[in-house]
Structure formats: structure tokens, C-alpha cells
Amino acid sequence: MLLLDTARGPVAALRARPPAEADRGVAVVFCAGVIGSKEDFEAVLPGLAEAGYHAYAYDYHGHYAELPGESPDRHTIARHAEDLVAVLAAAGRPAHLVGHSYGGFVARAAALARPDLLLSVTLIGAGPGMDGVKHRTLLTGFDATLARQGPDVMWPVVRRLVPERDVDRREFWRRRLDGMRLAFLHGALRSLTAEGDRGADLRATRLPVLLMHGHRDQRLWSARDFAAYADRLGAELEIIPDASHSPNLEQPERTVAALLRFCAAAERRQAERIFLDLLRPRALSDPYASYRALRERTPVLRIELPGKAAAVVLSRHADVARLLQEPGFVSPGEDPARLTANWRDVRIVRCLYQSFGWREGTAHTELRAALARRLVPRRAEQLRASTEATAEECLDRFGARLAGGEPVNLAEVLAVPFASLVVGRLLDLPDADALRLGEAARVASAAFEPFMTTRQRAAMATAGDEILDALEALAADRPDGLFGVVRGLRPDLGEQYLGDLALLFGAAYDSPASLVTLGARLLLSHPDQALLVSSGAPFVEEILRYEPPVQVAVRIATVPARFGDVPVEPGMAVLGLVAAANRDPAYTADPERFDVLRRPVRPSLSFGAGRHFCPGAALARMHAQVLFPRLLRRFPTLRIAGPVRLRGPGTMLRGIEDLPVALGA
């Protein structure tokens, strides 16, 4: 027994907790009927808890305890729904809601008021409405009889339903009827007479709904009424054999089995909607709430991607780390059609899928190893002086623009030039060519987004052609350096060679540019953290953890595998949500807080892991270490000066297109 806080005060409740190893972190909340109480669910709570749910059942406020100024007006569906909303809000995350009889109408009202607090709604023995002539007559007569005889009017009914030999149940009902408040009963019954069919409203919430009743439950609504109501709700209909109005009391095991099937399916459907919303070809200002919902509700999700093959989506840190490190999961360049059926149609996509970063075996390892030897941390430190000079040069131009007094787009004026010039000078490119390629790379980076608009796809293809043509010409004149390394291992100079060149420039440009924009917005939005950075605190790992430029990693399974209870067949695509994994509480405490002093035991997954760990990670870190303290020290009053526009589509790669900033007073 425990107390739950409602909008009007505490109520008595029952709770069944799941075993730690099965804990799903999700609650199921039960609301009783008029002549009912929390004990009506005593037989079903343990089965739900064993399956991993936190199961709660509670009495209504004033159900059994006298209230100050008590009157039937205190006990309406709307008032009890307010109390229920407070219980749901206190749960801290969306829950499954189950209402029996009168409790079904209370649950429906709560769902209509706050659908965001719910994963699903189950209505047991609660039909479309009670405002018709038949139901109003029945309820009004019952109300009048209660006024004359009190709750004892129910005792003959109990005697008929509960065998004389069942002494304990009869005694339970005797105590229940003796303690029930007449004001509650009158208020609930009178409120029901005004309750109409709100099936269309509930359907509009898009919440999964289960309508359940016993096959003998025909007094208030016929089987045809229930079926028609389920159809209007777009609900699943479950008819429990050998039960009447209270399957939860009469057939608890079947009721639990039906609830478990429905709750699991509801969680899966909601997770599918959340993930498909993440795939839309536009930028989300805050995808992290969706990542958190997936990780908490359905951390392993099997989904049919529109126009693509089935895939498995992972959002826990341990699962994503495993995906990136186990050899049975390979880079998608080994089987591009699994992700993109028409991958050959666009030149930049075709070339990149053949590049070393998207392949396995010697096609990947030889070139990666050769590049990594030239990009080791020691080499990054050797390049620090030239990077500092580039940063000062870019900050001078940025400061000149700020001096004009108008807001300046930090992405366009600082992030893109800095990242372009740094990689261009690393590759021995003329500055003008590097800047031009950086602008094109902003658009071509959409090459691996799963869904694009027609306009986005056309722009990506055009920018991709520009990059490939320019790099092919520039590399031909530079037989030494990193371009020479690529040429030495790709002597046929075909599409694989072009893909390697594009990946070399694009990867070295895109993530650093996004790191600048995302990091600048974070630091300008958290002045206490900016002060720490300007004072010399390490910060790069926390920016990468909190706002990773690469949000999703993709692999193809080559062997049978399993994540949780979801099997993965060979050939299936597996998507690791890096941005969700980085904020997994199992990886680091208080993960939603941006804290540059955070020191996780292991690095985040923002640069990948295993054999595909980014070979330029040390350089990218060094670039940020050089730029951000200088930016914050030179412009201590810098502030965000307008709406921020993120890159779209931004499912795979996150960045900011427009970050307006200005100097404060």
C-alpha cells in the first residue's frame, strides 16, 4: 500500500514493482469502476510486474475518505481525470492507462486532456457513452435508489454474484460497501449521464486504444455496440471468454495476457512513429527527446523502412558500441542496395559507397592505415601552429563583420571558412578552391540521408558532381601528400578513387564545421560553461557527446545476431543511434546536462569505435581546441541574435546552416 499524489491530495494505491533485471521503466496505471476500488486489480498487478512494468491501481479522491465540503459536485469525470493527470505526470515518463467501467471514462478524459503523458489507453467494460435515454434512465434510477437505501442496495447483487462459500470475498464486498462515500457514488453516476460518445476525439489523439469486455457483458452495451465503438476509435477489440463486466476480476490471467500483448504492440507502434518522424527530410530542433523516448521505451526496434528493407534500430550505448565493434556487422558499402535501391543513380552516392570508409577488408584497411599514419596525434600537434594561424585569420574576418553591428551568420562567416581552409591547407589546395569545395560539401553531405525532397536530392547531386570534378583535377596536380597516398593505392583512378578523394575532403571538412556551429550554440547558450572553456577547461569531448555531428551509424549484419529479444538476420541493416547512445544514463550520469567538466570512463561514440574509428579524430579535436578558446576570449560578449536554422535533412549528419550572432553591450 502507498499514497499517490493527485491534483487534490493523496489517494491510497496498490503497487507491484518489477524485478530489477526485467524493469522496462514504464508504468501501467489502473482506474476502477463506480462500485469498485484499487483491489479490483490486485490479481492482475503481479503479472504485469513480472513482465517488467510498474503497475499501480488507486482509489479516487473521496472514494472512501470524507472530504471537507464534500458534495457530489466534487466527484465528476472531469475532476477525477484531473487527479489522474497529476498521477500520470508524476510518473516522469509516458505510461499505459487502463480504466474499468467508470474508470474507462475517467481514463478517456485524461487521455484527451494530456495524450502526451500516455503510451496507450485500455478501456475495460466502458462503451461509447451514457447520455442516451436508456442509460440515463438506468443511471438516474440507480442514483435515486442509492439516495433511499445507500450502498447496501448493492448487497443483494453481491450475494448473487459471490457464492456463499466464498466468505472472504463476501466480507471484502461488505467492507467496501460500508466504507464507500455516498457523495462519490452520486457524483460519479450523475457525471456519467452527461458522458457522450467521444470516440472521434480519442481517435484524433493517435494513441493506441484497446477496448476489452467479457463476452457476457451485454447489459449496458451490446457486443455490436462495443464492436462499432472500437471501429470508431480505431481500437483493437479484445473479448474475454467466460467473463462479464469485470474480466480483471473474473479472468485475471487472460486479462494480463491481453494487456501485455497490447502494451508491447503499442510501444512498438509509438516507437515506429517516433523513428519515422526522425527520418523526415527536415531538421529537428531537438531530436534528443525522440532519442530518449526510443531508448526508454523500445531500445531495440525492428522497423520496415518506407521503400527500403527491414532494419533494426539501436539506441542504448552498449548496443551501439557492440554494433560498431563486432566483425559480424559490416559497413554498408558492402551491400548498398540494402539501404538505397537506386544507389547507382547519383554519381556522388555511387562513388562514396565504393570509398574506403564504407568498405571492409583491404578496400578499407590499406588506405585507412596509410592515412592514419599521417594523421596520428603527434602529427596533429605538429599542425597546431598552422591551425592557430588559420584560426586567427578567420577570427579577424569574423570580428570585422561583427563590428558592423548587424547579426552575423557564424556558420557562414566562421565555421565553414575555418573548416574549409584547415582541410584545404592540409591537402595543399589553393584557398579559393578549398572555400568553394567547403560550400559545395555543405550541400553534398546529404548524400547518405535516408530520405530527401526532390529539390534536396537534385542539389546534392549537383554539388556532388562539382566536388568530384574539382578534386579529380586538383589531385592530378598533387602527386604527393595525402592525395598521393590515395593515388598510390587506387592506380586505376576510377570511381573508387574519386570516392576516396571525396570522403577524404568531406569527412575532414563536414564534422569539424558542424562541431564549430553546434559547439558555438551550446557555449553561447551556457555562459557558465563558456567561461570554463575560455579559462582553459577541456571541452571537446562533451560537445561531441552532447551534440554529435554524426547522429547515426549504419551497418549490415553478415551473421545471425540478437539485441535484447529482437533477432537480426544476415543481410539486415542495423542503425545505431549514436546521439541516443551518448545520452544513455547507463553510459554517463545526468546525461541531459551539458557539462564540459564531465569525465566519462569511456569516450563517447561520436567518432565511431572499432575498425572504423575516425582516423582524423585527433585533428578534429585539435581544431576545436584551437578555435573555441580564442573565439570566447576575443568576443566575450558574443550572443545568439536570432532564430537558429539547422541543416536539413539532418537525420544522419547534424549541423547548423544559420547561427546569427552579435556583440552584446
**Quick one: pLDDT at residue 407?**
96
**Quick one: pLDDT at residue 449?**
87
Q: What is the CA radius of gyration of the chain?
A: 31
**In which element (H, E) is residue 2 found?**
strand 2-5
Q: Which class does domain 2-271 fall in?
A: alpha beta
Cell numbers for 358, please give them: 564504407
Weakest mean pLDDT among 67-71, 191-195, 648-652: 67-71
- CA gap 174, 152 in Å, rounded: 9
**Quick one: pLDDT at residue 413?**
96
CA distances from 285 to 2, 304, 316, 516, 577 (A): 40, 25, 22, 17, 17
Q: Torsion angle of alpha carbons 258, 259, 262, 268, nearest 10°? A: -140
Count CA within 13 A, CB hemisphere, residue 400: 7
- CA gap 554, 331 in Å, rounded: 7
| Of the candidates 335, 342, 557, the residue with the CA atom closest to the CA atom of residue 452 | 342
* Confidence bin at 79 (pLDDT 50/70/90): very high
Residue type, 159: R
Residue 514 pLDDT > 80, yes or no?
yes
Cell numbers for 228, please give them: 462499432
Per-residue pLDDT tens digits for 164-194? 787 887 888 788 888 888 888 888 889 999 8
Domain boundaries, the chain: 2-271, 279-663
Query: Who contacts 10 (Cβ-Cβ below 8 Å, separation ≥6)?
Result: 3, 4
How large is the average pLDDT for residues 502-510?
90
How large is the average pLDDT for residues 352-372?
91
**Quick one: pLDDT at residue 86?**
93
Contacts 24+ apart (CB under 8 A), 490-496: 490/367, 495/350, 495/351, 495/354, 496/351, 496/354, 496/355, 496/363
How large is the average pLDDT for residues 124-145?
87
Residue 469 pLDDT > 90, yes or no?
yes
Residue 291 pLDDT > 70, yes or no?
yes
**Quick one: pLDDT at residue 123?**
97
DSSP 528-540: HHHHHHHTT---H
> How high is the mean pLDDT of the chain?
91
Per-residue pLDDT tens digits for 617-626? 888 999 999 9
**Quick one: pLDDT at residue 595?**
96
**Quick one: pLDDT at residue 161?**
61
**Quick one: pLDDT at residue 138?**
83
Per-residue pLDDT tens digits for 563-613? 988 999 999 999 999 999 999 999 999 999 999 999 988 889 999 999 999
Residue 520 pLDDT > 90, yes or no?
yes
Residue 319 pLDDT > 90, yes or no?
yes
- What fold characterizes domain 279-663? Cytochrome p450 (1.10.630)
**Quick one: pLDDT at residue 151?**
77
Per-residue pLDDT tens digits for 387-435? 999 999 999 999 999 999 999 999 999 999 999 999 999 999 999 999 9
Residue 313: what are its φ and ψ, rounded to 5°?
-110, 130
Instruction: Give the burial class of 1: count Cβ atoms within 10 A of its Cβ; 0-12 exposed, 13-18 middle, 19 or more buried.
Output: exposed
Residue 1 pLDDT > 70, yes or no?
no
**What percentage of residues in the chain have a pLDDT greater than 90?**
65
Residue 69 pLDDT > 80, yes or no?
no
Weakest mean pLDDT among 25-29, 225-229, 302-306, 425-429: 302-306
